[in-house]
Amino acid sequence: MLQVYLVRHGETRWNAERRIQGQSDSPLTAKGEQQAVQVGERVRTYGITHVIASDLGRTRRTAEIIADACGCGVTLDARLRELDMGVLEQRHLDSLTPEEEEWRRLVVNGTPDGRIPQGESMQELSERMHAALAACLDLPSGSRPLLVSHGIALGCLVSTILGLPAHAERRLRLRNCSISRVDYQESLWLAPGWVVETAGDISHLDTPALDELQR
Ligand SMILES: O=C(O)[C@@H](CO)OP(=O)(O)O
């Protein structure tokens, strides 16, 4: 059975400021760095063999800290990037005009192929995240990978593995540096293929970030 750990990056400056990042980037806060250290402390005994991260700065930095603790290197996979939120990237969530708010709702309410102008649909996000996860099946036997990605991207992955629509990720709270795990298994009892073991675990964090979606 292949076990794959899924970690959202540590808190960033724009997370704390309620600004939309998407494929734009902002650095980890001091709290975000500390959260990454705490993930490393937790998973260092898990036998992680590969740390694979989205190529955005916030995930790279989080991955470096975790990989140091695990004694392995980091490889980058652009398929693990956050949803491209087009013209709304870098904006404060509270500053959207009614028209912009409507664009945002097209995505989060599950309108088929809804997208923010110049952005990406949830279907496109789902396809690339599943491709990145499937690539773990090609790693050498006995591998135990840990993927470092983003809130909407990981939520979409977990939701769709459960058979829910991609936009169900809005009902799944994946805080900064939460750990989820999915397993690939052939089971007579559970559905064969990817199975969700846990989602959004933050028991290793002593100061969990306020989630930008929750505030
Ligand atoms: O892009 C963003 O603003 C958020 C949305 O959840 O994603 P993340 O902080 O996980 O990159």
What is the residue-level pLDDT of the chain in tens, covering all 215 positions? 999 999 999 999 999 999 999 999 999 999 999 999 999 999 999 999 999 999 999 999 999 999 999 999 999 999 999 999 999 999 999 999 999 999 988 888 887 788 999 999 999 999 999 999 999 999 999 999 999 999 999 999 999 999 999 999 989 999 999 999 999 998 888 888 999 999 999 999 987 666 544 54
- Which residue numbers belong to the known binding site? 8-15, 21-22, 58, 60, 82-85, 104-105, 151-152
Looking at the domain assignment, is residue 208 inside a domain?
A: no
Binding residues for substrate: 8-15, 21-22, 58, 60, 82-85, 104-105, 151-152
> Ligand 1 test: best mutation among 62, 95, 152, most atoms within 8 Å of CB?
152
Amino acid identity at 40 = G
Sheet hosting strand 145-149, strand order edge to edge: 74-76, 50-53, 145-149, 2-8, 179-185, 193-201
Residue 212 lies in a domain: no
75 within some domain: yes
Q: Is the CB of 22 under 6 A from ligand 1?
A: yes
Query: Does ligand 1 have an atom closer than 6 angstroms to the CB of 15?
Result: yes
What is the rounded CA–CA span in Å between residue 9 and residue 68?
Answer: 15
Kindly state whether residue 207 falls inside one of the protein's structural domains.
no
CA-213 nearest atom, ligand 1: 6
Is the complex ipTM more than 0.90? yes
Total number of domains constituting the chain: 1
What's the confidence (pLDDT) of residue 208? 64
Position 215 scores a pLDDT of 42
Q: Which amino acid is at 27?
A: P
> For residue 95, what are the domain limits?
2-201
Cα separation, 62 vs 7, whole angstroms: 9
Domain contains 213:
no
Nearest atom, ligand 1, residue 56 CA = 11
pLDDT on residue 111: 79
Distance, CA of 51 to CA of 76 (rounded, Å): 9
Read off the CATH number of the domain in which 183 is found. 3.40.50.1240
Ligand 1 centroid–CA 2 distance in Å is 27
Q: Within 10 Å of residue 2's Cβ, how many Cβ atoms? A: 17
Q: Across 55-135, where does the E strand assignment appear?
A: 74-76
| Helix or strand holding residue 19 (H, E) | none
Cut 0.90: pTM above it = yes
**In terms of DSSP bridges, do strands 2-8 and 179-185 run parallel, antiparallel, or are they unpaired?**
antiparallel
Q: How far is the CA of 155 from the centre of ligand 1 (A)?
A: 11
* Spatial contact of 125 and 152, defined as CB atoms under 8 Å apart: yes
Task: Answer whether 20 contacts ligand 1 (Cβ < 6 A).
Answer: yes
| Nearest-atom index, ligand 1, CA of 155 | 6
Q: Could you tell me if residue 214 is inside a domain?
A: no
Give catalytic residues, as residue numbers. 9, 82
Position 32 in a domain: yes
In the numeric block, the tokens 């790693």 are attached to: 139
Ligand 1 pocket residue status of 152, Cβ below 6 Å: yes
Q: Which helix (H) or strand (E) holds 68?
A: helix 57-70
Give a yes or no: residue 7 inside a domain: yes
Question: Could you tell me the CA-to-CA distances from 4 to 1, 65, 111, 142, 148 in Å, in that order?
Answer: 10, 18, 30, 11, 11
